[in-house]
Amino acid sequence: MRRDTRSPGGEQPTLLEVGEALAALPRDLAPMRPRLAANAFNSPDHLFELKWDGIRALASMDRGRLRLADRSGGDLLPLVPELAELPVPDGAVLDGEIVVCDSRGRPSYDLLTGRSLPARGPLPPGPKAAKRGRGPVFVAFDLLYETHRPLLARPLEERRRRLTALGIRSRSLAVPEHLAEDGEPFLDVVAEYGLEGIVAKRRDSRYIPGARSAEWLKCHVTPRADVVLGGLVEDERRGAIRALCGMYAGDVLAFVGEAYVPPYLGRWLDEATRDFTADASPFATPLPLRTGMRWLRPRIVAIVEHAGEIGELRDARFRALRFDGRLEDCRVEEPIEMESAPARAGSERPRLVVLHSLPFGPE
């Protein structure tokens, strides 16, 4: 709506309503990401949250139009059409994660990637495509824009308070709690419930889109890594039995070890990677040929759990293909050592934070 007013000199300036003057929400935001901590720690300067076993996403509502984008800007609504009515306030951008939970209320990446996604590309649905799980739910843990105004330069504590004050919790949108100071007992409780890990965030941290910052630190219950899948060792009866894994050092793909493939995933992984078969090894270092070895073009990102060594996988286990993975992220992470203060409380408060944060409480 426009209003014309006449000035004493006869000029006719045009005034814009405030709502029209607000800029459209940005469409190129990339999520801020954590670096790796060597161990869990306690710190009065940090808040601690659950680490979610799902797909990172930004949810925004711009003049009545919902957008749900992955960390590369791709549209996620075809994956989770149930979230088409997500109650995001107009002019808001929420940072969070899409999760599907198992029967015990725990987020499960396998259940999420088992869902059918027509626009996913060459990779087929995950091995649990027949299991629906509980959800999907968008878990919102940060508020980047409110009423079309950026909050990126505001401290995390303020953004969290504003997010909670929106009152937008629903069956499809969860706003988890956080724990102050006590990261060590929090990780212990998270491990007890069989969850992925925790994220430590400085209370005063600003939001830097696309950055991997030490202001945020992730702590896994079981060490895990994103790797490039460069080949498989296969058995005629079981399918894939070993995954050959690489990480980039500069522009060079280095072999970092192999991961055991559980029997229930072997046949599925064999079929899922057939279109990526290559004639030669993608690794910079020569590997001895073995019976059943099949090379792959370096286009697939996999999640593996391992024993925790830096730059070399030991006792590794293939867990899943990362459908939202990026090859450039498959690099050795140098863990950051953090000093730890004494814990201020026992396990009761961390346990309540876990129970109140999960979209579906453990049964």
Which pLDDT value is given to residue 48?
Answer: 98
Residue 119, φ and ψ in degrees, nearest 5: -95, 15
Which pLDDT value is given to residue 362?
Answer: 56
Catalytic residues: 51
In the chain, where the domains are located: 33-221, 224-329
Which pLDDT value is given to residue 131?
Answer: 59
In whole angstroms, what is the distance from residue 63 CA to residue 77 CA? 18
Place of tokens 């939202």: 324
Which pLDDT value is given to residue 40?
Answer: 97
Which pLDDT value is given to residue 345?
Answer: 78
Summarised one tens digit per residue, pLDDT across range 119-141 is 445 555 556 544 568 999 999 99
The runs of H, that is alpha helices, within the chain are 18-21, 109-113, 156-165, 183-192, 263-272, 348-357
CATH numeric code, 224-329: 2.40.50.140
Topology of the domain covering 33-221: D-amino Acid Aminotransferase; Chain A, domain 1 (3.30.470)
Helix axes 348-357, 183-192, angle to 10 degrees: 60
One pLDDT digit (tens) per residue for the chain, 363 residues: 444 444 444 444 444 334 444 678 999 999 999 999 999 999 999 999 999 999 999 999 999 999 999 998 999 998 899 999 999 999 999 999 999 999 899 999 988 887 654 444 555 555 654 456 899 999 999 999 999 999 999 999 999 999 999 999 999 999 999 999 999 999 999 999 999 999 999 999 999 999 999 999 999 999 999 999 999 999 999 999 999 999 999 999 999 999 999 999 999 999 999 999 999 999 998 999 999 999 999 999 999 999 987 778 999 999 999 988 899 999 998 999 999 999 987 889 999 999 999 998 655
Neighbours of 345 (CB within 10 A): 12
**Rg (the chain; Cα; Å):** 23
Whole-model pTM: value is 0.88
Residue 242, φ and ψ in degrees, nearest 5: -140, 140
> 184 with 340: CB under 8 angstroms?
yes
SS3 per residue for 41-91: CEEEEEEEEEECCCEEEEEEEECCEEEEECCCCCECCCCCHHHCCCCCCCC
What's the half-sphere exposure (Cβ side, CA atoms, 13 Å) at 75? 9
Which pLDDT value is given to residue 229?
Answer: 98
Summarised one tens digit per residue, pLDDT across range 324-358 is 889 999 999 899 999 999 998 788 999 999 999 99
Which pLDDT value is given to residue 311?
Answer: 77
Neighbours of 94 (CB within 10 A): 27
Place of tokens 């995390």: 156
